[in-house]
Structure 1
């Protein structure tokens, strides 16, 4: 009988891809949703799980911003919001939001610089002051107003133009441990140091106890911490050089269904 294994999949650039420039011109609802997997990749995930294996989403996205077609795949759970929210089945293992002093600092910096941001939470995401591009109006004029639109009034991470993100992190240095990770279009996400894909995956593996051989699929530098926790890190063909260098295997690109190719090559489907 074949060993049952566990795999963790990044979304953007791994399971699917939406051009970020094109996304900026979509409706507000469409813009915030994750890409959808191709039919080939979706079928590969179904076959992988049907063989008795476990598949988990491992993404920086909010759970509510995962496209319904992606969420409908047979995942055993998710590590979302860059590790701030972790769930296996119906059991929540982590739910760690940004403290008030971080959100107050973000509000202060946005007012000073005239820039916008995206607050992300377990209950979805909300633009502030037009969002990072400053073009998504109408939107709340302050972080406090944005939090009123999120049930529970909590945010787990924030996306800002990179210079603005660096300013927030520098002002809170020594007071709050924050991490910063560069994204596309000149933006960066800011979250608590304790929240990472590495910590999220470790929490899932500790909960599972016996996970079998573990695999991690990713394309960006924020997936390096995912790679630290798995036996077989797999980089997409579109991954950055540093991610490819950290991987045990480099598969095809996301546009060429690299996840499906890797699962087949590894004998997992």
Structure 2
């Protein structure tokens, strides 16, 4: 496998783009910065909580070398899948049965597509619209015995639901509330961005001194704990601060470009 000078990992939301503030596609400077990194011999990897089915064409068109998706439970470089750890179907069946019994809306996030109970519900239509991915990435005809999903998103119907589900399944899963508090994730706690990055670094034989990451969220903490240089974007989550090597601007003020310049990588 090709050798690289180092590796840079990029979070998506709040790092490469900032949908909350109307920046839905990577800026020109971000695209140019990543191109320069590649030309200089650095490996560039997207590290995201999203599954690959939620990585849209604007992100794919950045031309990154690879992807760590679903919070570290899936990794791919070029055309090679490095690892893929879906939730066991027997465990999934128990969860889905509980959701159905309690009329809970959910999305089973897979790499090829994401799976829902009903595409026609008002809440699900709103989620699909907000995702900007279109109906093709969501499927409502699937078999619980064969479906592959690495992470589950649950839509909050009432304020007590999160605590109730967390208490019931705390010994099997980890949980994370989404910004805004309208939904939350359920996943196998072992798999984090940090876990995925650690596995990838070992496989590629990259020196830990030459590892960098840009992020802004709470789920970037483990990523910052694994790399040598964790760069917090402007507007970062408060818990991320103590784990950051350095800080940069937000997306609007070209945080990736400014951060890479400061590190003298471009």
Match of 1:247 in 2: 244
Match of 1:18 in 2: 19
| Alignment of structure 1 residues 131-142 onto 2, 5 Å | 134-136=123-125
Match of 2:56 in 1: 67
Query: RMSD in angstroms over aligned alpha carbons?
Result: 2.8
- CA offset digits 1:49-100 (Å, max 9, x no partner): 1111111000011113212121122322110011111112333222111122
Report the more deviating stretch, 227-236 or 205-214.
205-214
Q: Which runs of 5+ in 2 are unaligned?
A: 129-138
CA distance in 2, matches of 1:197, 1:190: 15
Shift of 1:132: 10
Q: What is the TM-score when the length of structure 1 is the normalising length?
A: 0.82
| Alignment of structure 1 residues 66-215 onto 2, 5 Å | 66-129=55-118, 134-136=123-125, 146=140, 148=142, 153-161=147-155, 163-174=160-171, 176=172, 178-186=173-181, 187-211=183-207, 213-215=210-212
1:50 paired to 2:39: yes
Give the number of aligned pairs: 247
Match of 1:4 in 2: 5
- CA offset digits 1:116-163 (Å, max 9, x no partner): 112111112234456998242899xxxxx846189x621111011365
CA distance in 2, matches of 1:12, 1:131: 27
- CA offset digits 1:202-250 (Å, max 9, x no partner): 1110111034511111111100010011000100111112212321111
Report the more deviating stretch, 220-229 or 11-20.
11-20
Instruction: Report the CA distance shift for 1:87/1:132 in structure 2 as closer, same or farther (over 3 A).
Output: farther
Instruction: Report the CA distance shift for 1:14/1:147 in structure 2 as closer, same or farther (over 3 A).
Output: farther
| Alignment of structure 1 residues 200-239 onto 2, 5 Å | 200-211=196-207, 213-239=210-236
CA distance in 1, matches of 2:216, 2:121: 23
Report the more deviating stretch, 128-137 or 97-106.
128-137
Structure 1 residue runs of 4 or more that deviate by more than 4 Å after TM superposition? 129-133
Q: Is the Cα–Cα contact under 8 Å of residues 109 and 164 in structure 1 kept in the other structure?
A: no
Instruction: Report the CA distance shift for 1:133/1:224 in structure 2 as closer, same or farther (over 3 A).
Output: farther
CA distance in 2, matches of 1:224, 1:138: 27
Secondary structure, aligned partner of 1:54: strand
CA distance in 1, matches of 2:9, 2:121: 29
Instruction: Report the CA distance shift for 1:131/1:115 in structure 2 as closer, same or farther (over 3 A).
Output: farther
Shift of 1:164: 3.8
